[in-house]
Amino acid sequence: MNIKTYCSTLLLGAFSCLCVASDISVASIEKDMQFLASDDLQGRLAGSPEIIIAEDYIATQFKQAGLQPLNGLTSFKQKFTLHRYIPNNITATLNSIKIASQNIAFAGSASSFEFTKDNTNISVVNDTDDLRSILSQANTNGGNIILLVNSAHAELFKRYKNHFSGGSQSIEERTSTALVMILTDTTNIDDLLISGSIQHQQQELTNIIAVKPGSIKPEEYVVFSAHHDHIGTHAHTSESANGKEDNIYNGANDDASGVSAVLNLARHYQNIENKRSIMYVTFTAEESGLLGSRYFIQDIDASSIVAMLNIEMIGKPSEFGPGTFWMTGFERSNLAQILNKNLNSIKQQVFADPYPKYKLFYRSDNASLAQLGVPAHSLSSTQMSNDHDYHQVSDELATLDLKQMTQIVNAIAAASVSLISGVDTPTRIEKVQPRTTGLIF
């Protein structure tokens, strides 16, 4: 490997070599990006045939970098099942009067159900009640539930009905339950009969994980991560800049850029000693609610992870200048101070997240590990308040600045040197109580 280095004396108790890697080049970045953001991958929707092609590519790159599967796995692929529950059909009569379909909303996991006045918990939601709170509590408690919702809540009822119609999903199989809402001002119930069904679909999803064991502290991990999924295609085409119809959400910046960074860091560290183990992870289904990272934390000892650098959308120059990046949750640990100490030698720095109103710390895969106390942060460069390509079909390779992106990946490599050498250990993040997962929807 042709790596040009210069050494900087760091106050680490010894002399350390800070590597500026010519192997992390624009050409290497571009090669990954051309593959991952191509039209052939059809937007890398989680569970699609095309995302499997992306996953195979990532696994192959990890293998070529001489990496190993995570302990407990037989390959680089960590597979899990996503359960989807899609409302199918429903009929209801209340006091012997048939309820119009537009006044019925339902969710749950029961393949079929038949509710009557005597076999189900029935509650009335009056005009002054808080429908959101009642539904939230019902979702937390689970069970079979019927809510008779006063017409004063018609607008909110409609929004919930639309939401329920898209179904729900879970990485655990749910017990057989259903919640039914009927929009009605009736409060006296003489008789009630509701029959319905919910389709249970199962889909295999895959995280890609690789490890380079540490020479001195193999039980401690520094994690570089990104998500390899995006949002697929759009049913309704739009006109692109070149006058051709375009319905593919290529996700070049979001987050093929992060995946390319992870791959190039893996290549960079291939022949460089790491005293701590390095784990490289690309998550699936981030766009579907951080599902890949939520599964990942079920199968990992969080106390073994010293730091997680999650790389998200680095293809465009930041407001601090090309080649610079910022970090979410800057104040939640001292990881930024460690990175900045290492970056000082190359006249770089990591900045605090300039977009706090977007609550980005909670919106990427770092959040799944941060809630367990891991110093897990996302690194980005995109100007979120001024990015017109975010989740648009225009998020294509042509909109990115690969030269400045390459500078960022090199800077991340330089910033991480004392983590990987085992010299610096960032403070843990205060654990937060995870939001309760709904039992019904």
Rounded-to-integer distance, Cα 345 and Cα 191, Å: 77
- What's the confidence (pLDDT) of residue 10? 29
Q: What is the pLDDT of residue 245?
A: 78
- Which architecture characterizes domain 26-68+213-420 according to CATH? 3-Layer(aba) Sandwich (3.40)
* Residues with pLDDT less than 50, the chain: 1-20, 236-243
> Within a 10 A sphere around the Cβ of 433, how many other Cβ atoms?
6
Q: What is the pLDDT of residue 85?
A: 98
From 418, 211, 411, select the one nearest 326 (Cα to Cα): 411
Buried b vs exposed e over 412-430: b needs ≥16 C-beta within 10 Å? bbbbbbbbbbbbbbbebbe
**What is the helix, strand, coil percentage profile of the chain, to 5?**
30, 30, 40
For residues 280 and 264, is the Cβ–Cβ distance under 8 A?
A: no
Instruction: Give me the pLDDT at residue 23, please.
Output: 79
Residues 6+ apart with CB under 8 A from 43: 50, 230, 231, 232, 233, 248, 249, 250, 251
Residue 348: the pLDDT is 95
Domain ranges of the chain: 26-68+213-420, 83-202
C-alpha to C-alpha distance for 256 and 353, rounded to whole angstroms: 21
Would you state the structure tokens that stand for residue 5, as one six-digit string? Answer: 């280095």
Averaged pLDDT of the chain: 92
